[in-house]
């Protein structure tokens, strides 16, 4: 009988002991934090060294006034800091032990405000166990509670690797809403900003799974109601994830490639979308997904004509280079889509990097053309000269005239292409230079 009573007494006392122990640890951490701050403010012995006897009276008076002003400012600063620490202490206590959700919402807002002002507060708060509480609040269906928690998490994640890891361990990715349509635009933007900060963990040794975040990110960038700023933030998170090659399979299987190709046609979002595609195209699955897309290569060729977006031209030409490399089918698709005149324009008027990539592509098209027209292509007998009777032997003079005629036709074709480029570049005022280049160009310089 006595054993059962003692067991019941110990079981009832256990929660009380755990509660008291948790509070004791919390207040000990606050006390240590205050002591470390006060230790930095204690005056050193050199501060009390009196050198007034060797100074003029006006200097002594000015120094006294400056000293008094410094003491007042130091006292005010110390008071403000102590107020902040006391406010943090109250906020953390309410967040842990608040009697109602409204009190915890206000505490979360106060924690976010204090964390925004001081990096050291962010690190201190992360060690006080508030992050799991905020993560659970972020999954709430109450809009005000969710937004207060996510806002505090954003401030705590800013610039602190430890806090980001604690959020991931607390299961923040599993708390993401399954349906983005239930979120208003400000809440979407908050979640996107938080995921962008947490996605930087992909570049560290911390194991960050992309499976739980991708449906949410793809849903936002495909939504017609999401703002450009929110989509741009999501693209930043996707770019961080795409830097890890092991994530390529998950990104492709979640439809990221098609979504990025659609966003690449929007000039405000094109650069980040193309940068992410550039990370994916070097993987086998990413390249295959782009080759099978109906938007490729037309959408990428269209971006090459954006003279006001040189970075987009560079990224687009890079992706086209990867797709065309050792792929005759892709080069045929590009040629059929009219890429050669546009590459000529980029090679003349683009940035230095875009010019190099355009010239490389043009060289591939030229080599492929020459390979098709080589001595081993087609029948090697029964060749007839232009204008000669059927089956008559080839006359050297007529053959020479045929070569001249073909060369003139090629020059005319090149001249028309260059004229088109000159009209597009008329704003640059350098058309005379281009025309001189056209006149001096021979058929040997044809890239295709």
- Ordered per-residue pLDDT tens for the chain, 448 residues: 444 444 444 444 455 545 555 555 665 666 565 556 555 544 444 444 343 444 444 444 444 443 444 444 344 444 455 556 677 788 888 888 876 888 889 999 999 988 888 788 888 887 888 999 999 999 998 999 999 999 999 999 998 899 999 999 999 999 998 889 999 999 999 999 999 999 999 887 776 766 789 999 999 999 999 999 999 999 999 999 999 998 999 999 999 999 999 999 999 999 999 999 999 999 999 999 999 999 999 999 999 999 999 999 999 999 999 999 989 999 999 999 999 999 999 999 999 999 999 999 999 998 888 776 655 444 443 443 444 443 445 566 666 766 666 666 666 666 666 666 666 655 555 544 444 444 444 334 443 3
pLDDT averaged over the chain?
77
Q: Report in angstroms the alpha-carbon separations of 193 from 128, 166, 187, 196, 285.
A: 24, 17, 10, 5, 28
Q: Do domains 83-172 and 176-292 have the same CATH topology?
A: yes
CATH architecture for the domain at 83-172: Alpha Horseshoe (1.25)
Instruction: Output the six-digit token pair for 404.
Output: 């001249």
Give the torsion sign (CA, 290, 294, 298, 299): negative
Any idea where the domains of the chain sit in the sequence?
83-172, 176-292, 296-372
Give the torsion sign (CA, 426, 429, 430, 436): positive
Q: CATH says 176-292 is which class?
A: mainly alpha
Q: Are 290 and 257 in contact (CB under 8 A)?
A: yes
Cα–Cα distance, 368 to 336 (Å, whole number):
14
Angle (nearest 5°) at CA 46 between 81 and 65: 65
- 3-class state of residue 316 by DSSP: helix
Instruction: Output the six-digit token pair for 48.
Output: 């009390």
pTM over 0.75: no
The percent helix, strand, coil of the chain (3-state, each to 5) is 75, 0, 25
Question: Could you identify the residue written with the tokens 């890890």?
Answer: 244
Question: Could you identify the residue written with the tokens 């001081």?
Answer: 118
Cα–Cα distance, 230 to 213 (Å, whole number):
15
**pLDDT reported for residue 39:** 54
Q: Are 258 and 264 in contact (CB under 8 A)?
A: no
Contacts of 429 (CB under 8 A, 6+ apart): none
User: What pLDDT, in 10s, does the model give residues 286-312?
Assistant: 999 999 999 999 999 999 999 999 999
């Amino acid at each position: 009988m006595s054993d059962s009573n003692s067991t019941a007494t110990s079981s009832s006392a256990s929660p009380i002991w755990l509660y008291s122990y948790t509070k004791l640890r919390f207040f000990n951490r606050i006390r240590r934090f205050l002591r470390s701050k006060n230790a930095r403010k204690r005056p050193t012995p050199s501060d009390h060294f009196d050198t007034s006897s060797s100074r003029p009276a006006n200097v002594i008076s000015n120094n006294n006034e400056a000293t008094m002003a410094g003491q007042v400012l130091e006292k005010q600063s110390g008071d403000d800091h102590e107020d902040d620490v006391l406010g943090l202490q109250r906020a953390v206590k309410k967040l842990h032990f608040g009697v109602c959700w409204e009190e915890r919402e206000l505490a979360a807002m106060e924690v976010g405000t204090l964390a925004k002002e001081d990096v050291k507060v962010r690190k201190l708060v992360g060690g006080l166990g508030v992050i799991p509480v905020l993560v659970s609040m972020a999954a709430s269906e109450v809009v005000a509670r969710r937004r207060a928690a996510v806002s505090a998490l954003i401030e705590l994640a800013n610039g602190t690797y430890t806090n980001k890891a604690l959020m991931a361990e607390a299961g923040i990715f599993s708390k993401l809403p399954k349906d983005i349509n239930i979120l208003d635009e400000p809440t979407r933007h908050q979640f996107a900003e938080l995921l962008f900060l947490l996605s930087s963990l992909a570049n560290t040794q911390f194991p960050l799974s992309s499976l739980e975040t991708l449906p949410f990110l793809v849903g936002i960038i495909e939504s017609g109601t999401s703002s450009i700023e929110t989509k741009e933030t999501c693209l930043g998170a996707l770019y961080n994830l795409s830097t890890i090659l092991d994530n390529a399979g998950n990104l492709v299987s979640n439809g990221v490639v098609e979504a990025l190709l659609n966003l690449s046609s929007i000039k405000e979002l094109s650069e980040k979308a193309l940068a992410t595609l550039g990370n994916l195209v070097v993987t086998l699955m990413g390249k295959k997904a782009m080759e099978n897309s109906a938007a490729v290569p037309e959408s990428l060729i269209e971006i090459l004509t954006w003279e006001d977006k040189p970075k987009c031209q560079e990224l687009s030409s890079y992706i086209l280079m990867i797709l065309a490399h050792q792929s005759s089918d892709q080069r045929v698709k590009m040629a059929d889509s009219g890429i050669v005149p546009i590459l000529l324009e980029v090679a003349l008027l683009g940035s230095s990097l875009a010019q190099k990539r355009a010239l490389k592509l043009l060289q591939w098209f030229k080599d492929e053309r020459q390979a098709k027209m080589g001595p081993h292509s087609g029948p090697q007998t029964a060749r007839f000269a232009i204008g000669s009777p059927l089956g008559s032997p080839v006359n050297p003079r007529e053959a020479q005239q045929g070569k001249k005629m073909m060369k003139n036709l090629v020059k005319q074709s090149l001249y028309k292409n260059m004229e088109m480029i000159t009209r597009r570049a008329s704003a640059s005022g350098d058309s005379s230079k281009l025309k001189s280049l056209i006149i001096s160009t021979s058929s040997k310089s044809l890239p295709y």
